[in-house]
Each structure stands twice: as structure tokens, then as C-alpha cells.
Amino acid sequence: MPQPRKPLALGGAAFFLATALVSPALARHCRNPTIPVHITAANTDLGADFPTPQTDVEFTDFFLSNLQHGRQPPDTTPPKTKNVTGDYELAATYCEPSPDPANSSNKTTTTPKVLQILTHGIGFGHDYWDFAYYEYSYVNHALAHGYATLDWDRLGLGESTRLDPVHEVQLPLEVEALRELTRLLRAGSVDLHLNPDSDNGETTTTTTTTTTPPKFDKIVHVGHSLGSSVVYALAAVDGLVLTGWSTVPDFMSAGFIGLHLEQARPKGGPLAGYAPGYVVMGDVTALHTDFFAPGAYDPAILAPAYAATQPTTVGEIATGSYMASTKLEVTVPSLVITGQKDLIFCGTDCFGTNDPNLAFAPRSRELKLPSDESARNYHRVRIGPWPKPGT
């Protein structure tokens, strides 16, 4: 069972529309619900004899073999699948703006009408969206514009239920976890009650229901990198924001080589609890290579960003290419935000890919931002204006 979350001392990051922003201090209420889900997913059947790499040498051998396979023409044949079913717990942080501090008599909160569910990518955890260093916070920016937010640790990672990193932690199961999380939130079945008499900035941890949970008029999914792939595969919401992402698979091999992936457990600290098969960026240089563009960030952020890194899994690497190259029809309003120098999805030149990226999403808008790479929340580029809730 995941441990109760503590208020962030070193949070996440702020990325997206106005990101790379240095977010102002904001009065807010947050709580850390642990959300149980029962889900079934058609994961890729890798076979019972598929070996779980136990060492860095074994993982590198697997990784190089996987890269060689990736050089072949894309195989659009759906893979053989095997159902995975289970009861899991998702660790999340829900935030909404506090009442107007100028009106001290107003102790009631009005739940925002639009909820943004924030899904992190490879190398990061839920706190990517609320990184305390230099006060980079996408969460604060969204709250300041009238949204509620819920960021969560993807299934198998962070404080959510840990699973088999080969046969269970694959994109199909993560998509179903997000689908069920969305269903529960839309139905008002998750206790997100915030105590209006508490001090601003309160963070509480609970799994009990104390009041009627809020319902939202609209739910918008915001993803980063692999999190955008999870969001894109779901698509059954009121709007999508896909960041650090595209449908171009050509440069993924170079991007994954740049990650310099190693077994997470030997790194110690918060990574010591991960089983073999969970792998993490090898060093700060790997983080820099894949997620930070020259001249667009403060170098001092590299060390704390790496200290907060989270792993990916052998299962995600072995099975993610099919879903990444599969184009789905998206009919909801969508926004795609990609840094000009994104390595993983654009080979460091998003303006040169000539990617017909949005043909699958007729109600979408695409932004290719100059001078930054994949980790939008850690950069200094600002764009706007921010859309109003409900639009």
C-alpha cells in the first residue's frame, strides 16, 4: 500500500502554456487522496519466458536488441495480448484555489467547473507539475486561471501500487488506470473534500469520505511525453493538451540512447524500493541531453531535477513503440505543444520534421515553441494568453 504523501519540499515542474514560468505564490488548498481502482487491460503478451533483466549488463543487452528491432519498418499488426486484471491504488494530489484572501469572512470554496488531470512522462513523477525549485509550478498557474488540478503517479511508479515491470507496467494498463480514474472523478466518486476552515496551502492525506465529492462540468487531460501518449490513447474526455510529444517515431531510438538507462534499485535512496526491471536515467547528463535545450533553462535546476527522477520499465520500452506509432482519431478540442529542439520526438528540430501531426485531430491546435526541449515545465519560455475554464 502506498505511504501517505507529505507536502512537497521539492516538487515537480511547471510546463505547458505559460510554463517555464516562475509561478507566483498562490493561496491554495490541496489534499493527497489514495484512489482504489479495479481494472483490466489487454497488455502485450511477451511470453512467460521473457527474462527480466537483473543487472545493468542484462538490461543494456535487452535495450540494444530492442533498438535493432526498432530499425525495421513499423509493424502495424496488433501484438498478441494477455489480459491483466487487478485492484490497485493510485496516489494523487488534488488542488484548487483558496477563497479570496481579501474577503476574510468568506470561508467557503466554490469547486472549479473544470478539472485538469495531469499525467507525467518518463523520468519524472507527479511532482513534475508542481516543482518547488524556483517555484516552477504548472499547478499554481492553472489554479490562478480558475482550474482545479489532479496530478497522479502513473500506475507502477512513485507512490502508486508497484507492479511487475515487464508484464504489468505497460501502456495498456496505464491507459486503463487513467480511464477508470477519469470515470470515478466524473461520477463524483472520489473524495476531494477540502476543509474551508484550514489555513491556505493545507495538504491533507485521507482515503475516507467526509462530504459529497465534487463533480466537474468538464475534465481536460494534460500529458507530458509518455504521459501524453497515455492521454492520447484515452482521448475520451472534454479536451486534450499533449506536451513534449508528437506522432513521429523516427527519433525515439536516439532519445532513449540519450537517457543512459540503468537499473533503478542500485541508485539507492527513494529508488531502492524498485525491483529489477525498473530503470532510470543514469546521470544528470542523461537528463540534460533528453530534456533541456541549450540557452533556455537555468543550469542550476539540473541537479534538483535529477534528484527527483523516477523510473520507466522494461515493459514500457518493449511494448510502447506500437502504441506510439498508432494514430487515433481525436474529435475533442486538442492542443499539442512541442519544443523546437525536442530530441525524442523531433530529433532536435521540430520545424524540420514536416510532420502532418494534426491530421488525426481536426479540432486541434499545434504550437512548436522555440528554444526549448521536452521538459517544458523546467524552461523559461512563456506563452499565452491562457484559455478560460469552460472554453
Query: Does residue 12 lie within any of the structural domains?
Result: no
Predicted local confidence at residue 371, as pLDDT: 46
Query: 22 lies in a domain?
Result: no
User: CA gyration radius for the chain?
Assistant: 20
What pLDDT, on the 0 to 100 scale, is given for residue 367? 53
**Residue 67 lies in domain:** 28-378
What's the pLDDT score for residue 39? 98
**Domain membership flag for residue 17:** no
Q: Provide the domain count of the chain.
A: 1
Residue 307 included in any domain: yes
The β-bridge relationship of strands 148-152 and 28-44 is unpaired
The pLDDT value recorded for residue 193 is: 72
pLDDT of residue 37: 98
Looking up residue 138, the CATH number of its domain turns out to be: 3.40.50.1820
Helix (H, G, I), strand (E, B) or coil at 266: helix
Distance separating alpha carbons of residues 255 and 209, to the nearest angstrom? 43
Would you say residue 173 lies in a domain? yes
Smallest CA-to-CA distance from 315 within 164, 124, 126 is with 164
Residue 57: inside a domain, yes or no? Answer: yes
The predicted pLDDT at position 19 comes to: 41
Q: Where are the alpha helices (DSSP H) in the chain?
A: 56-70, 138-144, 171-186, 226-234, 252-259, 284-291, 302-307, 314-324, 343-346
Q: What is the pLDDT of residue 373?
A: 46
Q: What's the confidence (pLDDT) of residue 254?
A: 85
Q: How far apart are CA 201 and CA 26, in angstroms?
A: 8
pTM of the model: 0.83
pLDDT score of 16? 33
Task: Point out the residues of the chain with pLDDT beneath 50.
Answer: 1-23, 70-71, 103-108, 196-202, 204-210, 356, 358-360, 362, 371-374, 376, 378-391
Is position 390 within any domain?
A: no
